[in-house]
Amino acid sequence: MRVLQSFPEGRATTNPYLLQLSRSLSPNVDVLGFTWRRALTSRYDVFHVHWPEILLQGRTPGRALARRMLFRLFLARLRLRRTAVVRTLHNVRSHELSPRHDQRLLERFDQRTTLWIRLNPFTPVPAGALEQTIPHGDYRDWYFDQPSGATVPGRMLYFGLLRPYKGVDALVDSFRQLGSGLDPQPTLRIVGAPQSSELAQRLRLGAAGDPRIEFVLRHASDAELADAIGAAELVVLPYAEMHNSGAALLALSLNRPVLVPENAVTAALAEEVGAEWVLTYNGPLCTQALADALARARRPRDTPTPNLAHRRWNVGAADHVTAYERAVQAQRTR
């Protein structure tokens, strides 16, 4: 079976989730990285897409227009060749605001989708759609050879892309009100590339005058991330909307507790991996929630590592192969 993935090969900034998926599939599936030439001319049985809106994005208006034209041709080819389309739903909805004409193209693409993969059982899918739930895999194998830094007492960490919905502004505001007289003195490190220079400036202004807050506003290498996570007593992910979080699983894979907003998804994650590893808060993030979580993170834990047994990639790869086979069969019988 040949599967065209929606992400290109060989980029240093490609999400490790996607790269681990591709590598774990390789023994059983012929995996193709995405190029427009390959999408329009090569033979493949399944197209597996993760964030379809990315296929329509261009750095300039001219490139965006060219992407729309290529996308229309691609839709026609998928229809004419009766190619099975599998889509992984990473979020309930896209966090990117697409123009109306792009939204119409994405709606047409949804209509072509054969099978939907959910990363957790709480993700809604279209009524009557063929679906399969495959949990997000861990990062233990990916980072096994990366040395982690020594833990810094009082260190809190946010890492990942910086976008408005991720609540980093609230984290900075809440941390500033955390008493500097605590022992050990709390510190906050924020590591990740901002979506815009305006957001970066707003975060720096919000932290102005507080030497306990440190920014590394760029893409971090795997070694830098391993070092930053290892140095943290607590990883804080204050997303305004948290549904699936690769960052939470990365922190857990490196044996660091995480603080996340409480909802059905995070409650299920806490039950799965251990409530002493997944700490939650209700309502907007506040200073007291940070203080309480830091105190809880310092308590002795019953288990030396989070339970990620259900997140192994050999299991996830087998489930993906099953999903592809189901999609191909469903497409043939339509």
- pLDDT value of position 157: 98
Structure confidence by residue, pLDDT tens digits, 26-55: 888 999 999 999 999 999 999 999 999 999
103 pLDDT higher than 70:
yes
Distances (CA, A) of 64 to 100, 107, 176, 249, 270: 13, 18, 41, 33, 41
What residues contact residue 297 under an 8 Å CB cut-off, 6+ apart? 233, 234, 257, 259, 279
- pLDDT value of position 198: 93
Q: Crossing angle for the helix pair 287-297 and 168-176, nearest 10 degrees? A: 80
What residues contact residue 93 under an 8 Å CB cut-off, 6+ apart? none
Distances (CA, A) of 326 to 82, 245, 253, 316, 331: 14, 27, 31, 15, 9
CATH 3.40.50.2000 occupies which residues in the chain? 155-309
281 pLDDT higher than 90:
yes
For 206-246, give the DSSP string.
Answer: HHTT-TTEEEE-SPPPHHHHHHHHHH-SEEE---SS-S--H
pTM: 0.91
Structure confidence by residue, pLDDT tens digits, 288-303: 999 999 999 999 999 9
- pLDDT value of position 226: 94
Secondary structure percentages of the chain, helix, strand, coil, to 5: 40, 15, 45
For CA atoms 143, 149, 153, 154, give the dihedral sign: negative
- pLDDT value of position 271: 96
95 pLDDT higher than 60:
no
Q: Do residues 50 and 6 touch, judged by C-beta distance below 8 A?
A: yes
Please state, as a whole number, how many other Cβ atoms lie within 10 Å of the Cβ of residue 255: 16
Residue type, 58: G
Structure confidence by residue, pLDDT tens digits, 146-202: 877 789 999 999 999 999 889 999 999 999 999 766 778 899 999 999 989 999 999
Task: State the average pLDDT over residues 213-239.
Answer: 95
Domain 155-309 bears CATH identifier 3.40.50.2000 = yes
Residue type, 18: L
CATH number of 2-136+312-333, picked from 2.60.40, 1.10.1330, 1.10.286, 3.40.50: 3.40.50
Q: Which two tokens stand for residue 229?
A: 């996570």
Q: Which two tokens stand for residue 298?
A: 């310092």
What residues contact residue 53 under an 8 Å CB cut-off, 6+ apart? 94, 96, 98, 102, 106
Please state, as a whole number, how many other Cβ atoms lie within 10 Å of the Cβ of residue 3: 22
Q: Do residues 256 and 297 touch, judged by C-beta distance below 8 A?
A: no
Q: Do residues 112 and 143 touch, judged by C-beta distance below 8 A?
A: no
